[in-house]
A and B are shown apart, each in its own frame.
Chain A
Amino acid sequence: MSDDSNLLSVKDLSIDFLQEKTAVRAVDQVSFDVKKGEVLGIVGESGSGKSVTVTSILKLLPENARYTEGSISFKSEELLSMKEKQLRKLRGNEISMIFQDPMTSLNPVFTVENQLVEAIRLHAKLSRKKARQEAIRLLQIVGIQEPEKRIKLYPHEFSGGMRQRVMIAMAISSSPSLLIADEPTTALDVTVQKQIIDLLKELQQKINTSIIFITHDLEVVADLADRLLIMYGGQIVESGPAKTIFANPLHPYTRLLIEAIPHGNKKSGRLPTIEGNVPSLSEIPQDVCRFKERIPWIPDQAHEINPKLREVEPEHFVRCTCYKHFWMKEAHEKK
């Protein structure tokens, strides 16, 4: 099989943030591929490095970030050595992004029409009138009723779900080959969340866009993602086909993330939690299993030094040996 089926290929990517005099590693040796038409879910809590990883693809990181190692190739072209001018052609055109907060991603002083038409004309040579027709068509695709009327409204006249739909319309206006969605449903109600996920699924099938979907809630990507990456402390701790991971989650972090979601009533006891807090980047232990401190009841010998990602079954990778020795602590047991 050639590499041609890979739309995006990230290899050994490491990113440091310069803080005063020290460099702090936010992303450590991350590798993954996104195939054409595939949905990749990246799961992790705040501080896991998931957002830094995807923003790095568009090279939109803040100024104090340094790409220390690795490569990002998109359609066999290296992005890290690409000039800003070329990159600008990719952004919003070949690769677009939807952000978490639909409230602040739209400009409040312009109408939806204004903003959509601007986005469309930025990437296609269309007359204002044609662009407007295109905007209405896009609003229809993302499921906004009476788009001819609604297009004249301002963002504050839209609900959260509708605003996120406008963001999606804007993101797909250039028929991108890759759509990056950074927690697009976290700020929304469950019913709206379902609509947005169904919409993304439909778009992926209709226009064969590849999607990277970032979330902290494993259940959200359960029926959307083809493959999953679970990140903790800037590293991938588990990756594989979504079906395999849900059927057989191995890394302690993945298992705890799944168990932490309530699935019963309180008669079933307290919820399992992950002890302690996500360590800040500068406090992350190096050369050892980064999750060690969060599962103190697992003996030290269970972890390995310099844990590596290993293929434990076809396409299913897990970091560190601690998963073999892991057991779920009784949730209601108190310290």
Chain B
Amino acid sequence: MESAILLETQDLEKNYTLKKKTLFGKKAEVLQAVNKVSLAIHQGETLGIVGESGCGKSTFARLITRLIAPSGGKVFFDQKEITAMAQPEVRSLRKDIQMIFQDPYASLDPRKRVLAILTEPLEIHGIKTAKERRELAYEMLEKVGLQREHASRFPHEFSGGQCQRINIARALILRPRLVICDEPVSALDVSIQAQVLNLLLDLQEEFHLTYVFISHDLNVVRYFCDRIAVMYKGEIVESGDAETIYQAPVHDYTKKLLQAIPKSIESNEE
């Protein structure tokens, strides 16, 4: 039996107007960053969104978190239409939907200690007392494979992989239901990438998380996701079960993406 739908988009659109200078003055050009995207994400599953830079996958992530407003279409989270929500409601929505970003360093405030970084989201939402918040932060640090002692350090004292662990701890401290991972491992070395992927899988089991996993690396997406949606020029060109798409891609663009993966190791093993 399939689990309930957690997030659903209906004909979601985002257009940007570009002003282009021509010989005869300015001309407006419309760029459709996200074009009529309808997707459903079920509770507890991992949906991978694949495509190259500029295909609209990050814009899509920002639309479903309501960091930006859509030009058209609707987004439902837990059957509530979030595209129609007023600001105070959106704020409480942030507790349920969190994000992890690509650049592990740039997404941490360099002037704050780890403890302050981790307790800030709790403070913003007025959860618990200061002491309880600290305890939660320590607990979360251990959950992501770091130690209590790390709480008093600054982000620059950590490696890229460790910083990404801190980012994950910060995202999960509010106990969100949906986590959007925007290329969370593409800035990391391969062995660190494996550590972070394993951690995300462990945490998913522990907290029953639903992930939207954005990446351009099909090997990683095949490993990590249950379903894949392939995005090209703002549209979903193919979607379905991850393994099926990997084994038998239908759309030309998906085939092209798959061919681009370096495959020599695999073929040597066989």
A residues neighboring B (CB under 8 Å): 45-46, 159-160, 189-194, 197, 216-220, 222-223, 246-247, 256-258, 260-266, 268, 270-274, 277-278, 331
Contacts and interface: CB of A to CB of B under 8 A. Distances in A.
Contacts, number: 105
A95 B261 CA distance: 30
Interface residues of B, number: 40
B188 to A, nearest CB: 9
Interface in B210-226: 216-220, 222-224
Nearest to A259: B194
Interface in B83-100: none
Interface string B228-267: 0000000000000011001000000000110111111110
Most buried by A among B195, B222, B262: B262
A257 B262 contact: no
Given A45-B191, A261-B190, A262-B220, A271 B264 contact: no
Contacts of B56: none
B149 interface: no
Interface stretch (B66-74, B130-138, B154-162): B154-162
B261 to A, nearest CB: 6
B206 to A, nearest CB: 12
Interface of B: 52-54, 159-162, 189-195, 197-198, 201-202, 216-220, 222-224, 242-243, 246, 256-257, 259-266, 268
Given A219-B264, A219-B265, A262-B224, A189 B219 contact: no
B198 A270 contact: yes
Contact of A265 (B54, B198, B243, B262): B243
Contact of A264 (B162, B192, B223): B223
A218 B216 CA distance: 18
A258 B269 CA distance: 11
Given A217-B190, A262-B223, A265-B222, A190 B264 contact: no
A73 B246 CA distance: 47
A260 B193 contact: yes
Contacts of B265: 218-219, 222, 246, 258, 261, 263
